[in-house]
Amino acid sequence: KNEFGYQEFCVNGEPFDPLKYIHTVKFGEIVERTLMNIDDHPYHQHVYPFQLVGGVDGNDDLDNEQSTYFREGDWHDVIRVKNMDGDLSVRYRADVHTGRIFMHCHRLVHEDRGMMAQELVTEGANAKCSCDTFIDSLPVGNSTG
């Protein structure tokens, strides 16, 4: 819990820090990452729609006629896969905007309590992942697990 007594939610085990980028990528680069623990956390990223490239087929989005909405090869800016079994791979090309982009849980109460992060898209050749332990992953969850 944070200093106000609220449950914190995290990306890469850390609540949002406006002074930290979890990744730095070069403009024009194709970025592929693995999303983990998203079954209760709809993933949304700003600026760049992403292509679903692995792990989505066979997982239901909703328990009704929309259960086949998300499929590999599709492009989205948000994905919600209820009852997700395993990880999900997404890919996008950082070719529209330099500067920061945001990604977050699309459940407002989770986002407001820290489940968001930012990535920096640079024009230079110094693009690298700046996260401490997870190179290409965005595991999500609360601060207790």
What pLDDT is attached to residue 133? 35
pLDDT per position as a tens digit, 104-134 = 888 878 778 778 899 999 986 544 444 433 3
Neighbouring CB atoms inside 10 A of 10's CB total 22
Query: Encoding tokens for residue 117?
Result: 């992060």
CA–CA distance, 49 with 54 (Å, rounded to integer): 16
Determine, yes or no, domain membership for 87: yes
Q: What is the CATH number of the domain that holds 34?
A: 2.60.40.420
pTM for the full model?
0.71
pLDDT of residue 143 exceeding 60, the answer is no
Determine, yes or no, domain membership for 124: yes
Determine, yes or no, domain membership for 3: no
Range 25-30 average pLDDT: 93
Determine, yes or no, domain membership for 53: yes
CA–CA distance, 95 with 31 (Å, rounded to integer): 11
Determine, yes or no, domain membership for 38: yes
Determine, yes or no, domain membership for 4: no
Determine, yes or no, domain membership for 56: yes
Determine, yes or no, domain membership for 122: yes
How many independent structural domains does the chain possess?
1
Biggest CA–CA distance in the chain, Å, is 46
- Its domain, for residue 102, covers 9-142
